[in-house]
Structure 1
Amino acid sequence: MAVDLAQIETIIVDSAALLQSFISEVMTLRTDTPSLFVDLEGCKLGRDGSISIISIYAPPKKLIYLIDIYRLGAEAFSTVNSDGNSLKSILESPIIWKVLFDVRHDSDALFSHYGICLDGIRDIQLMELGTRVGSKEFVAGLAACVEKDSTISATERKAWETTKRNTQRLYNPALGGRYEVFNDRPIRPEIVRYCVGDVVFLPNLFHVYNTKLCRPGKKFWEIQVLEATKERIQFSQSPNFDGTSRTNARGPWNREAIEEAIDQWNDDIMDNAMNEGDDFDFDFDDDFDDDFDDYFYDDGPTSGRDIINDCDYGYYYSD
C-alpha cells in the first residue's frame, strides 16, 4: 500500500481561525471508522516537559494538520467552532476514533498540562502485541512495526528511516541536538517532515493489525486490546506513572493473566449461549485453546532489545 506524499497537504494550524476551520473539517468525518491518526511532539514530552506540536492525519481529507501548541497554548483546546466543538471535545469523544502508537506519553502530557482525558483511542502498539504469535513479554517500537509488518514500499521505508535518523540529531542531546528545536518558529522544514512521518504510515499499520483482529474468532484479542488501551490511559493519568521507566517496555499481558481471561471468556460464552440459545454467535477461535502455547512461545532468553531496536530503545514509543 503505497503512500503518495505528494497528494497529501500539510497545514500548520497556528491561529484561532485555522483551528476553527480544522475542527469543522474533522466534524464532517465518519465516526464508524478511524479517520484521525495522532502523534505528539514536545520538549521531554510528558508531565515534566511540554507539548510543542500535535500532528493529526486525516486520510479521507488527504490532510495532515500540525497543531501549534507552543504558539496557541491552552487556546488550542478551548477554541470552539460555530457548532461549539473544540479540539478538547474531539480528543475526549468516545465516538470519534483516534489512532495513536503507544498512547501513554501523549495521554500523560495532555492530561497533566491541559486536563485532556483521551477517549475513543485505538493503540497500534497494543494491536500489534495482541495479534503477535510468540512472546508477548515486550512491546515493539514503531520502527520495528514498520519494518516487520507495514506494506509500504522499501523506498518509502528507507526515506522514513532516514528522516527519523537525521531529525534525531536535531532534538537528541546525546547526538548534539536540543529538545527545544520543536519550539523553533517558524517550524523548521526538517521538523515538519518528521511530524508528517510519524503519522502518515499509521493508517497502513492500523489496517494490517485491525484486519487480523477482525477475523472470525478473534473477538477475544480485540477486547483485550481495547481494555488494555483504556488501562494505559488511566495509568498514564495517575501520580505513579513514570514515563522514563524501563518497565514501560513490558506488555500488559502475562500467561497467567491471559489464562484467567480465557477462563472468564469461556464462562461468559457458556452463560450467553444458555441465555441466547442456538442463535448465539460464539465468535471464538476454536483452535485458540489448542494453540495457546504458540501465543506465548519464547524461543530463548529475550529482552526489550530483541523487539525494540537500539534506535527506539530509549524512546520506544512513537518518538
Structure 2
Amino acid sequence: MEYTPRNIHLDPSRQKTMPTLKAHSLIDTTQAVASFLDKLVQYGINKLPQPPAQLKLQRPLGIYVPRMYFDAEGNNLGRHGTLSVLQVYVLPLDHVYLIDVTTLKGAAFDTPGKGGLTLRMILEDPAVLKVFFDVRGDSDALHAHHSIKLRGIHGLQLMHLGTLEFVDGLQKLPSLEICIRNHAGISAEEQDAMPALKRAGKQLFCTGFGVFDERPLKAPLAEYCVQDVQHMPTLWTAYANLLTKEKWALVLDMSRARVNGSQSVEFTRTNWNKSSVPVQFWSKPGVGRKWGPFY
C-alpha cells in the first residue's frame, strides 16, 4: 500500500495542525519485500556509497553518511512481547517503508530479492551502516524473535551525547522527540504540529500497544511510525559534524555494547535503565553510579 507525502495541514476531523510526512509504503507481502530489496540493490545499498547530495559532512572522519534509518514498534517490544512493525527510511529513495512483521513473520527477513539479498543480510552486515536512535529494545526483539544479530549500528542517542562537552549533570537521556525538536532544524510551525500526530497515535495505544498487531494497520499508527524515522538523517549529520575522532570511537564502541548487551540472556526491561547516561561519556569516569552492561 502506497502513501503520498503529506504537508502540514489542518485536519478537519480533529481541528489540529498535522506535520509534514514523507511518502511511505506498507510492506505486507513477500512480493512487496522482494520489490523493496530490489530497489535497495538498484541504489547500491549494500555497497560503499558516495555521500548523498542532501547531506554533507563538514569534517569528514572516514565515516560515510548511512542511507538506512530504523525504528521498531510492538506490543511490549522485546523478547517478552512482539515485534510488529519495522520502520525503514531509505535516504536515497526519500521514502519510509513499514515492514509488517506481524503479517509476514520470518518472511519479512528471509524473503530474497532477485539478487538473493535479504533484509536479514542487510541487518547483520557490518559494512552496511544502519542508524537507530536507541537500539536496545529493537535489537532485543529482532534477536529474540528472529535470531538477527545486528551489526554496523550507529546509535543516534549516543551520537548526541558525544556532542556534549559535559554530561555529568545530565539526569536522563533525551528522547528522539526532544532531539528532533532541538536539532533537526524544523520550523516552529512544524514543531507545533508534531504533538498532534503523536497524540493521534498514542490515543490508539493508550490501553496497550497491542494495536500495533491489529490489521489492517490504522493510518494514525502508520503516520506515527513515519514521523519517528524521517528526521533521523538530519540529526545524524548535525551530530556527526560535531563529533571528534575520539568521540566517534566511543559512540561506535557503545553502539556495539548496546547491541551485544541486548542479545544476552540476562537482558530484560527490568534490569536496564533506559534513561541513564553511560559513564563512558562523563568527564570523570567512575564517579557516581556504576556502569552496567546494558547502558
> Normalising by the residue count of structure 1, what TM-score does the alignment of the two structures yield?
0.73
Amino acid in the other structure paired with 2:110: S
Q: Does 2:257 correspond to 1:227?
A: no
- How far apart, CA to CA, are the structure 2 residues paired with 1:255 and 1:68? 36
* Structure 2: stretches of 5+ with no match in the other structure: 8-20, 50-64, 288-295
Query: What's the secondary structure of 1:151's corresponding residue?
Result: coil
| 8 Å Cα contact 1:29/1:35 also seen in 2 | no
1:89 and 2:115 matched? no
Superposed CA deviations along residues 266-300 of structure 1, whole A, max 9, x for unmatched, are xxxxxxxxxxxxxxxxxxxxxxxxxxxxxx9xxxx
Identity across the alignment (%): 33
- SS class of match (1:67): strand
Q: Report whether the alignment pairs 1:26 with 2:40.
A: yes
Partner SS state of residue 149, structure 2 = coil
Deviations 1:46-87 (A, max 9, x none): 111001111101121121111110000011111111211101
Q: What residue is the counterpart of 1:171 in the other structure?
A: 205
Give the counterpart letter for 1:221 in structure 2.
Answer: K
Match runs of 1:10-25 below 5 Å: 10-25=24-39
Does residue 194 of structure 2 align to residue 160 of structure 1? yes
Alpha-carbon distance change, 125 to 78 in structure 1, aligned in 2, over 3 angstroms: same
Alignment partner of 1:70 is 2:70? no
Residues 220-259 of structure 1 aligned to structure 2 (within 5 Å): 220-245=246-271, 247-254=273-280
Are the counterparts in 1 of residues 84 and 101 from structure 2 also a CA contact under 8 Å?
A: yes
- Does the aligned pair in 2 maintain the 1:12–1:67 contact within 8 Å? yes
1:231 partner letter? A
Tell me the secondary structure at the aligned position of residue 113 of structure 2. Answer: coil
What SS does structure 2 have at the residue aligned with 1:248? coil
Partner of 1:249, secondary structure, is coil
Contact 2:159 2:240 in 1 (8 A): yes
Aligned length: 252
Partners of 2:44 and 2:98 in 1: how far apart?
18
Q: What corresponds to 2:149 in structure 1? A: 117
Letter aligned with residue 209 of structure 1: Y
Contact 2:173 2:275 in 1 (8 A): yes
Does the aligned pair in 2 maintain the 1:126–1:139 contact within 8 Å? no
Question: Hey, which of these two has a bigger chunk of helix by percent?
Answer: 1
Deviation at 1:179, TM superposition (A): 1.5
Contact 2:136 2:262 in 1 (8 A): yes
Task: Give the drift of 1:246.
Answer: 6.1
For residues 1-319 of structure 1, the aligned pairs below 5 Å read 5=6, 8-27=22-41, 28-30=43-45, 31-32=48-49, 33-136=65-168, 137=170, 138-173=172-207, 178-213=208-243, 218-245=244-271, 247-254=273-280
- Rg: which structure is higher? 1
Contact 2:120 2:148 in 1 (8 A): yes
**For the residues of structure 2 that align with 1:255 and 1:124, how far apart are their CA atoms?**
14
AA aligned opposite 2:202: Q
Equivalent AA in structure 2 for residue 233 of structure 1: V
Distance 1:149 1:107 in 2: 25
Aligned position for 1:266: none
Once residues 255 and 11 of structure 1 are traced to their aligned partners in structure 2, the CA distance between those partners, rounded to angstroms, is 38
Distance 1:256 1:52 in 2: 36
In the alignment, residue 234 of structure 1 is paired with which amino acid? N
* In structure 2, C-alpha distance between the alignment counterparts of 1:189 and 1:201, rounded to whole Å: 19
Separation in 1 of the partners of 2:147 and 2:23? 30
User: Retained in 2: the 8 A contact 1:43–1:51?
Assistant: yes
SS at match of 2:80: coil
CA–CA distance in 2 between the matches of 1:180 and 1:254?
36
Cα distance change of structure 1 residues 256 and 52 upon mapping to structure 2, 3 Å threshold: closer
Change (3 A) 1:255 1:8: closer
Q: 1:46, 1:105 within 8 Å by CA — same for their partners in 2? A: yes
C-alpha RMSD of matched pairs (Å):
2.4
Q: Which amino acid aligns with 2:159?
A: M
Q: Take 1:242 and 1:92, find their aligned partners in 2: how far apart are those partners? A: 22
Deviations 1:165-187 (A, max 9, x none): 231121132xxxx3211122111
Residues of 2 paired with 1:259 and 1:115: CA distance?
Answer: 34
CA distance in 2, matches of 1:254, 1:120: 20
